[in-house]
Amino acid sequence: MPATTDELLELHGRIRACTACPLHATRTQAVPGYGPVTARIMAVGEAPGETEDREGKPFVGAAGQLLTRLLQEVGLDRRDIYITNTLKCRPPGNRDPEQSEVDACSHFLDEQIAMLEPDVILVLGRHALGRLLPGGGTITRLHGQRVRRGTRVYVPLYHPAAALYNANLLETLQQDMLLVRRYLDEAEAEREVALKAQAQQAIPAEPPADQMALF
């Protein structure tokens, strides 16, 4: 069963208080994640940037604004999505995450995924891909594909920051978002079929004709 808002907020509190890796010393604040515990879609980026570190929310800078627009273009509202990062604290100067930092932070993302049990996880960029689908292939090969691992469904996508100044990547990201929309619609249709089948099973079968006489 998905967790409650209180349970998610308790996790956010632990993330804000975390001192497990050296990034706690250089951050303004940790950025746990943002969105409802009931979200069916989760998006995972790399790490907070300067604006996120200042505001305490993920994807609120230029890349975040592009993400919001890309979601809107396919009829998705970012307020319905739980957004977080591989690292919860900003690496100084926005340098790449170090493996030791990813390892120290890893259990928080695992807990978030377990709490939300999302229908789909959007994997934004190569760092999130390395963390969530290690050894699965590069972002160039996997972007836009639906990848099933265990009970989870992932869709790797180029990181919106990479598309900010690259028109070709932006177009690819827009095409991939249309695929995300299609996957979600298909999942919804499958859910409806399953619910109808369940409802049918719940209707008691009609008794045989000879028993009918007893009524």
Q: Classify 33 in phi/psi space as left (phi over 0), alpha (psi -120 to 50) or beta.
A: left
Binds ligand URA by CB under 6 A, chosen from 48, 91, 97, 130: 48
- Cβ neighbors of 53 (< 8 A, separation 6 or more) are 27, 28, 29, 31, 89, 90
Longest CA span, the chain: 82
Binds ligand URA by CB under 6 A, chosen from 11, 30, 42, 46: 46
Does 45 sit near ligand URA (CB under 6 A)?
Answer: yes
Q: 87 with 48: CB under 8 angstroms?
A: yes
CB of 157 to ligand URA, least distance (A): 12
- What's the CA angle centered on 25, arms 85 and 60, to 5 degrees? 35
Does 49 sit near ligand URA (CB under 6 A)?
Answer: yes
Question: What residues between 88 and 147 interact with ligand URA by CB under 6 A?
Answer: none
Does 32 sit near ligand URA (CB under 6 A)?
Answer: no
Choose between 59 and 158: whose C-beta lies nearer to ligand URA. Answer: 59
Does 52 sit near ligand URA (CB under 6 A)?
Answer: yes
Choose between 49 and 156: whose C-beta lies nearer to ligand URA. Answer: 49
Q: Classify 137 in phi/psi space as left (phi over 0), alpha (psi -120 to 50) or beta.
A: left
Helix, strand, or coil (residue 43): strand
User: What does the per-residue mask of binding to ligand URA show for 157-176, with x meaning CB under 6 A?
Assistant: ----x---------------
Residue type, 7: E
Binds ligand URA by CB under 6 A, chosen from 68, 85, 112, 172: 85
Q: How far apart are CA 42 and CA 83, in angstroms?
A: 6
Question: What residues between 58 and 77 interact with ligand URA by CB under 6 A?
Answer: 58-59, 61, 63-64
